[in-house]
Amino acid sequence: MAQRAVWLISREPGTPFCSTVRFSRRYPTVEKRAKVFNGASYVPIPEDGPFLKALLFELRLLDDDEDFIESRDSCSHINKTSVYGLLIGGGELWPVVAFLKNNMIYACVPLVEQTLSPHPPLISISGISQGFELLFGVQDFLSLSQKNDTELNTKLNQLPDLLLQACPFGTLLDANLQNSLDSINFASVTHSQKQPAWKVGTYKGKPQVSISITEKVKSMQYDKQDIADTWQVVGTVTCKCDLEGIMPNVTISLSLPTNGSPLQDILVHPCVTSLDSAILTSSSIDAMDDSAFSGPYKFPLTPPLESFNLCYYTSQVPVPPILGFYQMKEEEIQVKITVNLKLHESVKNNFEFCEAHIPFYNRGPITHVEYKVSFGQLEVFREKSSLVWIIGQKFPKSMEINLSGTVTFGAKSHEKQSFDEICIGGTAYLKLHFRILDYTLTGCYADQHSVQVFASGKPKISTHRKLISSDYYIWNSKAPAPVTYGSLLLVRCHN
């Protein structure tokens, strides 16, 4: 797990490409390894100028970049992983991890220890997750207590020395750059146990371990026989281990109930020291069967000082938590809507909040609404041309609720810029927003009694879990279904 190069690029109007490379670091030893591993598919790291132009082109951040380009903009090339391939010097530099945050582009090129043609699966490249962790660590360091450009410049000047400690020879040891900064003038202390290079300083105080499981459920529901509904659960396990000692050892176990959905595509933090092969080989690409590994999922680790994401996972749950039906019929300046929502009987009926948002973009302001709702209350946002159905904290005993009504619109303002037709016909949708505390859709939980801590003192162990909706759409069943991918919405074309 190593990085070939790292860049920080700031968006600055008035400069060439409206961007400037503020920091770059290459690792020649890693580059030599890449040349050996990649063989004929090897593409060298370019100079900053060509890299900047190629990256901005791929991210659609060039000022004159308005035309549709098949190789980049077609539906078959939509990117939702923040991992890109850059065309440079007749070859493709891949994989390039890059994302834009607060007018700063963070980018790196992980080492791939095999040939790049064809591209290996992202899940098999451990350097990608390490690259994300490094970039997020740099982002946190730059954003911490930053008040002006002077402080930003100061932190950028500190980066070369900090990366010598945090990422020597391109291998990430500690993503918390503040730790590296604090340790630069830290006096060395003799310990009976050797202090690891990636862990600077030790914790002093009451021992405690906190484990939080957050699952996000995505869903696309069409209520059509020829188009299958889709849904997926993505989970993140976040930990914070405040334990005394230089190298405390912890084993955290995740468990599932008898009817729980097995965890798949598991990616773990580098601090995990060993792992059962069954955990690593469980993939969502494979067909589910009774032999799928269903835990317990044990993670022995030596935790860092800061909060960290122990692992990420996906899961193929049998049904979405809320089944929905949405129909919109357009009649000149009016639309008639019908909504039916049903909470699955296996889901905990105790929400922190639950709302259904129904937008009507590309129309005039809402002038009148007549509706009938079986549960909750409806709010009208006239300026935003949208309805919000506030369902509340519980579904009724029937687990099923309905909304029907007629929405009348005024004339559309000619001052508004013309956008692609969205929320009309096949692109009309309802989006659900909800959160359930102390619950996960897979049933995954961390048992306090199964957490093993090998350190001085008996720690206080706390566990939390929650389910959150993310991109939970129910499409208009009265029209052809839209082609949806990530945040892009396109109308399916029919001859």
Residues 46, 239: Cα–Cα separation, whole Å: 38
Higher pLDDT, 84 or 276: 84
In a domain, 386, yes or no: yes
Q: Indicate whether 246 and 353 sit together in one domain.
A: no
pLDDT, tens digit (0-9, with 9 covering 90-100), for 185-214: 443 333 446 666 667 678 888 999 999 999
pLDDT, tens digit (0-9, with 9 covering 90-100), for 421-449: 667 777 889 999 999 999 999 999 998 88
In a domain, 196, yes or no: no
Q: Indicate whether 33 and 127 sit together in one domain.
A: yes
The model scores a pTM over 0.85 = no
Contacts of 64 (CB under 8 A, 6+ apart): none
Q: Provide the number of structural domains found in the chain.
A: 3
Q: Beta strand pairing status for 208-221 and 460-475?
A: parallel
Q: Does residue 418 carry a pLDDT above 50?
A: no
What CATH number does the domain containing 350 carry?
2.60.40.1170
Q: Indicate whether 43 and 157 sit together in one domain.
A: yes
Q: Indicate whether 178 and 43 sit together in one domain.
A: yes
> Which residue range(s) make up the domain with 427?
322-413+420-437
Q: Are 95 and 45 in contact (CB under 8 A)?
A: no
Residue with tokens 């060298």: 44
Q: Indicate whether 310 and 334 sit together in one domain.
A: no
- Share above pLDDT 90 across residues of the chain, in percent, rounded to a whole number: 52
Helix %, strand %, coil % of the chain (to 5): 20, 40, 45
